[in-house]
């Protein structure tokens, strides 16, 4: 429990330092106090899975995931921009059901947020191992094919650090 709280304190304090971008004593003291209060108050809310990122292998895959995610987000941005600039392109919006191999709530949430932050898709609901995704151009309503198109590009990395 103490290890988890210390990890959350360090994460919060690190974010504080990044946002304030200063090492002046009053700012650092304020950051320590705010981070400590938040770590204590929110400790029961934070999932213990986050501390699993202390494992160097899992941390490595989490870091590798960041550029992979940004690449797919950029490609999706360009696709949506192209569709906006070319109104003659067919779009077929709809909600599709996709399946995930992820078991943890944090893993599913990371996947759902990654899908939602990618333009053209929006996670509507998560029920068990299924996610319901609003897709700007439904290529297939088959669960396996939609999963391959939407989920697989993210899931193969997320499973390595959240399982």
Residue 105: closest CA among 55, 50, 148 = 50
Residue 102: closest CA among 54, 59, 154 = 154
pLDDT digits (tens, 9 = 90+) for 51-87: 666 678 888 998 999 999 999 999 999 999 999 999 8
DSSP 101-158: ---SHHHHHHHHHHHHTSTTEEEEEEETTEEEEEESB-S---HHHHHHHHTHHHHHHH
pTM of the model: 0.75
Side-chain-side CA neighbours of 101 within 13 Å: the count stands at 15
Domains of the chain: which residue ranges?
A: 2-46, 52-161
| Percent helix, strand and coil across the chain, each to the nearest 5 | 65, 15, 25
Rounded Cα distance, 3 and 1, in Å = 5
pLDDT at 47: 61
Residues β-bridged to residue 121: 135
Tokens of 32: 């320590």
pLDDT digits (tens, 9 = 90+) for 2-59: 877 888 899 899 999 999 999 999 999 999 999 999 988 887 776 656 666 667 888 8
Average pLDDT over residues 139-160: 95
pLDDT at 44: 75
């Amino acid at each position: 429990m103490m290890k988890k709280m210390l990890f959350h304190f360090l994460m919060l304090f690190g974010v504080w330092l990044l946002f304030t971008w200063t090492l002046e004593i009053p700012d650092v003291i304020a950051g320590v106090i705010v981070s400590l209060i938040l770590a204590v108050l929110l400790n029961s809310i934070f999932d213990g899975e986050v501390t699993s990122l202390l494992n160097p292998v899992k941390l490595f895959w989490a870091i590798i995931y960041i550029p992979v995610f940004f690449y797919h987000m950029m490609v999706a941005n360009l696709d949506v921009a192209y569709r906006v600039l070319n109104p003659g392109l067919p779009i077929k919006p709809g909600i599709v059901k996709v399946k995930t191999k992820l078991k943890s709530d944090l893993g599913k949430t990371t996947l759902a947020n990654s899908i939602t932050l990618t333009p053209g898709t929006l996670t509507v609901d998560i029920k068990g191992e299924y996610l319901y995704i609003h897709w700007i151009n439904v290529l297939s309503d088959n669960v396996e094919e939609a999963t391959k198109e939407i989920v697989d590009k993210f899931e193969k990395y997320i499973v390595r650090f959240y399982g």
